[in-house]
Amino acid sequence: MDLDPTPRSRDIRLRARADRVIPAGMYGHQAASQLGDGYPQFFRGGSGAIIVDVDGREYVDLMCSWGPVILGHRDPAVEAAAAEQRMLGDCLNGPSEQLVLLAEKLVDTIVDADWAMMAKNGTDATTACVTIARQHTGRGLILVARGCYHGAAPWCTPIHNGTLPTDRAGVRYFDYNDVVDFDRAVTEAREDLAGVLLLPFRHVEGEDQELVDGGFARHVREVCDASDALLMLDDVRCGFRLAHGGSWESLGVRVDLSAWSKAIANGYPLAAVTGTDAVREAATKVFLTGSFWMNAVPMAASIATLDRLTAIDGVSIMARAGARLREGLLAQAGAAGLSVRYTGPDALPYMTFVGDSHRQMLHAFATEAVQNGVYLHPRHNWFMSCALDDAAVDQALIGTEPAFAVVAKQFGTTPTV
């Protein structure tokens, strides 16, 4: 691993070329323009827990491509399954048998799934849930929690530029985990409540994460039942990292529809909607399609991913990696005299510094960490993968230790809370 602060000549050259042919040089959640100077914009590749940027610098990957890479980059089992299907064909005039095998596997694995439909983006899946809920109930309004991300379509995008207020005419908002505010929103929706779309826990960019309150979740379920409205879980970001059968499996709160994507095929483009028999009929009435939604290779990759996750108990591996990372980071913070808040499940953690309301300390920490060969993000939660064995986590911790020192030196130590 090359930790020298050599000029990032290739990344810089590519950014200049990108500026000419891509608006602002890059767009969307992977744009590095808001990150520190040490962050690469362009990557060469990855293997297991390690990614390499275009200048050959290696990083322990704590972002996992913002979620999709759950087994590690280029997992041999997934690549073999994908290659086998690719030798036959991928994009055809109809699905391959992989569609049936994957749907059966999702139904077998996910506690609330009686059926499955495939798509390509997480946004496709959340939009499909909303559409099916409206068709099922014959009503219009969907409740979502304020600030929670459900995709980039006009009805849910966090940035409203270029969209119309009417795009969001069928959406109402409440505060996550707040029964009183939720009930207010339900009351205001009156007879037009089609459903509630929830994240498994509250993760909002730049904010400490908040686990779901079991009582709140049960209350939402009861209200949906009493109102003949649907409860939809947006498991796009968390899916397959917290539980094999859905992120609320252990909570015991059933959901009517779930949206999946990201980790479902270890990086191959795929999304899915699953639902219960009660809403199956509605799912047959809506028009959901896309040019590549039936591609066979991502489905073969997904089956291999889900099989592998089950075989190795991926949830436990990621929990273990996340716990080791948490313990290491908290010890390092304490030793540096810095007080931090470490929130969310260990498999999808986020860390902030106490008193760092503008996240300047966190930006300094992340910028130093990435220069030390640890890729994490200062405003978005991190992701564990099954490739993060003890050695990889320890390698990450070697890179984060001096980052705490830099923060302490630049901002001073903070009182322990």
Encoding tokens for residue 216?
Answer: 């709140």
Interacting residues with a second copy between 257 and 296 (CB under 8 A) = 261-262, 267-269, 275, 280-295
**Smaller CB separation from a second copy, 115 or 216:** 115
In whole angstroms, how close is the CB of 222 to a second copy at the nearest point? 25
Dihedral (Cα; 140, 223, 196, 149), 10-degree rounding: 140
Contacts of 313 (CB under 8 A, 6+ apart): none
Q: Does 36 bind a second copy (CB under 8 A)?
A: no
Interacting residues with a second copy between 218 and 257 (CB under 8 A) = 236
In whole angstroms, how close is the CB of 103 to a second copy at the nearest point? 4
Q: Does 29 bind a second copy (CB under 8 A)?
A: yes
Interacting residues with a second copy between 299 and 358 (CB under 8 A) = none
Among 3, 9, 76, 97, binds a second copy (CB under 8 A): 97
Q: Does 121 bind a second copy (CB under 8 A)?
A: yes
**Smaller CB separation from a second copy, 290 or 412:** 290
Contacts of 19 (CB under 8 A, 6+ apart): 25
**Smaller CB separation from a second copy, 100 or 391:** 100
**Smaller CB separation from a second copy, 100 or 312:** 100
Q: What is the per-residue DSSP string for 95-158?
A: --HHHHHHHHHHHHH-TT-SEEEEESSHHHHHHHHHHHHHHHHS--EEEEETT----SSTTT-S
Contacts of 17 (CB under 8 A, 6+ apart): none
Among 56, 89, 252, 334, binds a second copy (CB under 8 A): 89
The binding track of 374-403 with respect to a second copy, each residue x by CB under 8 A or -, is: -x----------------------------
**Smaller CB separation from a second copy, 163 or 360:** 163
- The identity of residue 119, as a single letter, is A
**Smaller CB separation from a second copy, 250 or 284:** 284
What is the Cα–Cα distance from 76 to 48, expressed in whole angstroms?
Answer: 9
Among 167, 181, 208, 210, binds a second copy (CB under 8 A): 167
In whole angstroms, how close is the CB of 334 to a second copy at the nearest point? 29
What is the Cα–Cα distance from 251 to 199, expressed in whole angstroms?
Answer: 13
Among 4, 34, 37, 94, binds a second copy (CB under 8 A): 94
Say how many C-beta atoms besides its own lie within 10 A of residue 226's C-beta: 9
From 163-171, 182-190, 221-229, 406-414, span contacting a second copy (CB under 8 A): 163-171
Q: Does 65 bind a second copy (CB under 8 A)?
A: yes
- The identity of residue 400, as a single letter, is T
What is the Cα–Cα distance from 119 to 293, expressed in whole angstroms?
Answer: 5
Say how many C-beta atoms besides its own lie within 10 A of residue 4's C-beta: 6
**Smaller CB separation from a second copy, 44 or 184:** 44
What is the Cα–Cα distance from 166 to 164, expressed in whole angstroms?
Answer: 5
**Are 364 and 410 a contacting pair, CB within 8 Å?**
yes
Among 4, 37, 166, 417, binds a second copy (CB under 8 A): 166
**Are 197 and 144 a contacting pair, CB within 8 Å?**
yes
State the number of binding residues for a second copy (CB under 8 A). Answer: 111
Among 1, 88, 330, 331, binds a second copy (CB under 8 A): 88
What is the Cα–Cα distance from 125 to 150, expressed in whole angstroms?
Answer: 9
Say how many C-beta atoms besides its own lie within 10 A of residue 98's C-beta: 23
Q: Does 103 bind a second copy (CB under 8 A)?
A: yes
In whole angstroms, how close is the CB of 134 to a second copy at the nearest point? 5
What is the Cα–Cα distance from 146 to 323, expressed in whole angstroms?
Answer: 29
**Smaller CB separation from a second copy, 79 or 327:** 79
In whole angstroms, how close is the CB of 130 to a second copy at the nearest point? 8
Q: Does 164 bind a second copy (CB under 8 A)?
A: yes
Interacting residues with a second copy between 141 and 160 (CB under 8 A) = 152-155, 157-159
What is the Cα–Cα distance from 3 to 11, expressed in whole angstroms?
Answer: 16
State in Å, rounded, how far the first CA of the chain is from the last one: 36
In whole angstroms, how close is the CB of 213 to a second copy at the nearest point? 28
Q: Does 49 bind a second copy (CB under 8 A)?
A: no
